[in-house]
A and B are shown apart, each in its own frame.
Chain A
Amino acid sequence: MSNSKNTHQNNDPGLPRPETLSGIEIPAVMTPEMVGAKAPELPGQYPFTRGIFPNGYRGRLWTIRQYSGFGTAEETNERYKFLLNQGQTGLSVALDLPTQCGYDPIDPMARPEIGKVGVSLSNLAEAEILFDGIDLSSISTSFTINGSAPMIYAMYLAVADKRGVPRDKLTGTIQNDILKEYVARGTWIFPVRPSMRLIADTILFSNEETPRFNPISIAGAHVRDAGVTAVEEMGFTLANGIAYVDELLRRGGDINKFARRLSFFFYVHMDFFEEVCKFRAGRRIWARLLKERYGVTDEKALRFRFGVVCGGSSLQAAQPYNNIVRVGIENMAAVLGGAQSIFTCAYDEAFQIPTETSAEIALRTQQVVAYESGISKTVDPLGGSYYVEWLTDRMDEEISKVIKEIDDYGGAEKAIEEGYLQRRIAERASARKKSIDSGEQVVVGENYFRHDDEKKDFGEVFRLNPEVAKRVTEKYNAIMESRDNATVKRTLARLEQAATSDNENLLPYLVDCCHAYATVGEMVGRLKRQWGEFQEPVGL
């Protein structure tokens, strides 16, 4: 905890500055002239500024999806059943770092991290436990998984196959967005080129086999949480989207088909109107890019579908109950921006894995917004506001500039391989930290309005079972004994062979490996042998 002696004791941050967090200057009063003459636009119609559906949330509310997972598959399965009983409508699986980075629990790199930030899921046996008693044909499941996303997706299919659930009934999302891992989240495995190929394979396979599943969620959330502005978050994300589209086209995909299943994922932080307009502008820009740059004709393929998370680094460890209010405001911005699925962070998430109480409050926040606030009763209720329309146009201009910056650099892939984006994000993160440290950006309870007797530890604390690593390792060793090792060896060899060239889609091979109880570490290991590992540009 920082020493409060040299913070802003006077508790007077002055008047709020007349600009958004991205630095867009805001006029004191908006007039119709400032918006200019505009053709009337309807929701559900190109360019979708007002939403992708004509009836907004009146046909269907957003999916309430809380992120959770910790420890063993058994413990997480229990938490899922609790959340489903409480009215949650989709599952969101948090995986531990060894699983995310492709290490089995027995790997020396894995041992200190087993079950820490999510559930350990090294093979099909664990996935069977994780989804025990949960109907995969009626629930949508979202996996925050990237480097090893194709393996985890293959494992999910294997669970469904074993239970007799038809693949075309499966709904859900794998994040599967490696580009932002290289710049902000860090769970990369392979170099950029083969990673892009594997992602394209997953998307094209999923389009055929699991047509209701989202095989990618192109995410701006992590660069945002790292410190970039709302404008940059949307700009970088759409630039990554362009890189995936280009790769899918290179792999022979039909853009009118695959673009229907591209989805996106963002943070909602505290600048309310900027957040709303970020989504209105993003929806419009994506539709315009697909139509004008790629000639997409299918209306459904132009729809920009996105999920959000409210909270993240906008939440503070100081005076944590304030976070409940922040998340409530962010939740409303997400709804007014037209999100398809929303995850609200628990108020204690800034410093620990949420307790049942804090997780429940986060869920109830969404239910209050959904069923009491009334803001979802008409489509795009802010549409036509001088300010909202003006700011949407300004965000459109600024976001388009960021996309052009990446285009001019040579595209997202190049900007990431050469470390350009990484440096840009680090600089921006430093600038944001400076602005909070100096008191220029006000954070209530943190740099202003502090208590003198600040106390971080409070009430209930979630404790991870210290036996987790031991139990996970025991189960792992047991499956290594009981599985048919000859089949494992054969399926892994076939996977490795297929990876030597660009000719085949690797997904069927991965599904075979999963059925044989091959582990994530084994599958990743075989591909590493062919492709090597990403070499991080570490220049500051």
Chain B
Amino acid sequence: MSLKGKRILIAKPGLDGHDVGAKIIALALRDAGAEVIYTGLRKSPEYIAQAAIDEDVDAVGLSILSGSHKELVEEIVKCLRESEADDIPLFVGGTIPSEDYAVLKQAGVRGVFSADMKVEEVLAAIDQELA
């Protein structure tokens, strides 16, 4: 895997407080050799976009389980675009109904992951996108 040395921001946008998925992925990425920055809960789209730029990350992983993924992802993409940083790959995990996968990808998300995926599958998908 080429995740070694990659800088990845794991972020919790919005008010959703379920952080286990985010932490499981963050720990797994770290074990795979990536440098992981975790934002903690309740971050605004502006904060996340700025953190991605300031930390000069190779990718951003968003964890959303509240059903607000469409609105939040749209906002974050908009913020990144305004700072001409929309080339940073975005990934989304959480409880995303399958009919919304296409919507998120349309908005620029490079991968959408569900809780029933194996952690290694998630990492492999990120790895492939970043290669």
Contact = CB atoms under 8 A, between A and B. Distances in A.
Contact of B66 (A116, A226, A540): A116
Contacts of B98: 1, 456-457
A117 B121 CA distance: 29
Given A318-B116, A457-B98, A112 B17 contact: no
A109 B17 contact: no
Contacts of B97: 351-352, 457
Nearest to A426: B23
Given A97-B66, A108-B44, A433-B119, A540 B38 contact: yes
Interface in B19-39: 19-20, 23-24, 26-28, 30, 36, 38-39
Contacts of B118: 2, 6-7, 437
B50 interface: no
A175 interface: no
A97 B15 contact: yes
A430 B26 CA distance: 10
B120 A316 contact: no
B20 A429 contact: yes
B28 to A, nearest CB: 7
Interface stretch (B54-62, B67-75, B82-90, B103-111): B67-75
B18 A186 contact: yes
Contact of A434 (B36, B71, B75, B119): B119
Interface string A385-428: 00000000000000000000000000000000000000001110
B68 A540 contact: no
Most-contacted residue by chain A among B20, B24, B97 (CB, 10 A): B20
Contact of A227 (B17, B20, B44): B20
A478 interface: no
A430 B95 CA distance: 18
B17 A181 contact: yes
Nearest to B96: A351
A334 interface: no
Given A185-B18, A226-B20, A446-B116, A430 B38 contact: no
B40 A538 contact: yes
B42 interface: yes
Given A426-B23, A456-B98, A538-B38, A109 B120 contact: no
Nearest to B17: A186
Interface stretch (A98-106, A192-200, A253-261, A371-379): A98-106
Given A103-B15, A352-B97, A437 B120 contact: yes
Given A116-B67, A429-B23, A98 B15 contact: yes
Contacts of A429: 20, 23-24
Contacts of B30: 540
Contacts of A426: 20, 23-24, 27
A457 B75 CA distance: 27
A171 B40 CA distance: 36
A536 interface: yes
A70 B47 CA distance: 28
A226 B65 CA distance: 13
Q: Is the interface of A mostly helix, strand, loop or mixed?
A: loop
Contact of A187 (B17, B39, B68): B17
A188 B15 CA distance: 10
A103 B42 CA distance: 12
Interface residues on B, range: 35 or more
A433 B27 CA distance: 12
Given A97-B15, A97-B16, A2 B121 contact: yes
A112 B97 CA distance: 17
A145 interface: no
Given A426-B23, A426-B27, A430-B24, A117 B67 contact: yes
A427 B71 CA distance: 31
Contacts of A98: 15
Interface string A339-370: 00000000000011000000000000000000
B51 to A, nearest CB: 12
B17 A430 contact: no
A301 interface: no
A101 B36 CA distance: 27
A185 B15 CA distance: 11
A491 to B, nearest CB: 26
B29 to A, nearest CB: 10
A85 interface: no
Contacts of B117: 1-2
A75 interface: no
A317 interface: yes
A352 B96 CA distance: 9
Nearest to B74: A112
Contacts of B68: 112-113, 116
B42 A1 contact: no
B95 A540 contact: no
A10 interface: no
Interface string A58-99: 000000000000000000000000000000000000000110
B116 A536 contact: no
A109 B15 contact: yes
Contacts of A116: 66-68
Interface in A187-220: 187-188
8 contacts: A117-B67, A181-B17, A227-B20, A430-B28, A446-B116, A457-B97, A538-B38, A540-B30
Interchain residue pairs A-B with the least CB separation, the first 3: A186-B17, A112-B71, A97-B15
Interface of B: 14-20, 23-24, 26-28, 30, 36, 38-42, 44, 66-68, 71-72, 75, 95, 97-99, 114-121
Given A2-B116, A116-B67, A429-B24, 11 more contacts: A2-B121, A97-B66, A112-B71, A186-B18, A351-B97, A352-B97, A425-B20, A426-B23, A430-B27, A437-B119, A540-B27
